[in-house]
């Protein structure tokens, strides 16, 4: 099990009380990586560390349309 899959397993188990087999955990890790990269790309150059949290939600809402 690679590091990303172990991380997905830990989050599922400890934060959500869910258990998955290793194959599904690997799929979840890959899906999360894709989503994370898309969010980071959408936010790059548009948001700064000091922006209000609402700015992030607003940006994601605009980009989803």
Query: Do residues 18 and 7 make contact, with C-beta atoms less than 8 angstroms apart?
Result: no
Query: Do residues 8 and 32 make contact, with C-beta atoms less than 8 angstroms apart?
Result: yes
pLDDT computed for residue 23 by the predictor: 95
pLDDT computed for residue 65 by the predictor: 66
Taking alpha carbons only, the member of 25, 61, 29 closest to residue 43 is: 61
**Which tens digit of pLDDT belongs to each residue from 2-39?**
999 999 999 999 999 999 999 999 999 999 999 899 88
With a CB cutoff of 8 Å and minimum separation 6, the contacts of 47 are: 55, 56, 59
Burial grade of 4 (CB within 10 A; 0-12, 13-18, 19 or more) = middle
Q: Which residue did the predictor score with more confidence, 10 or 64?
A: 10
pTM comes to: 0.71
pLDDT computed for residue 61 by the predictor: 86
1 pLDDT tier (thresholds 50, 70, 90)? confident
């Amino acid at each position: 099990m690679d590091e990303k899959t172990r991380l997905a397993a830990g989050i599922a188990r400890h934060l959500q009380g869910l258990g998955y087999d290793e194959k599904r955990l690997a799929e979840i890790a890959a899906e999360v990586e894709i989503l994370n990269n898309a969010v980071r790309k959408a936010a790059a150059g548009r948001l700064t560390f000091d922006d209000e949290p609402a700015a992030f939600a607003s940006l994601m809402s605009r980009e989803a349309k």
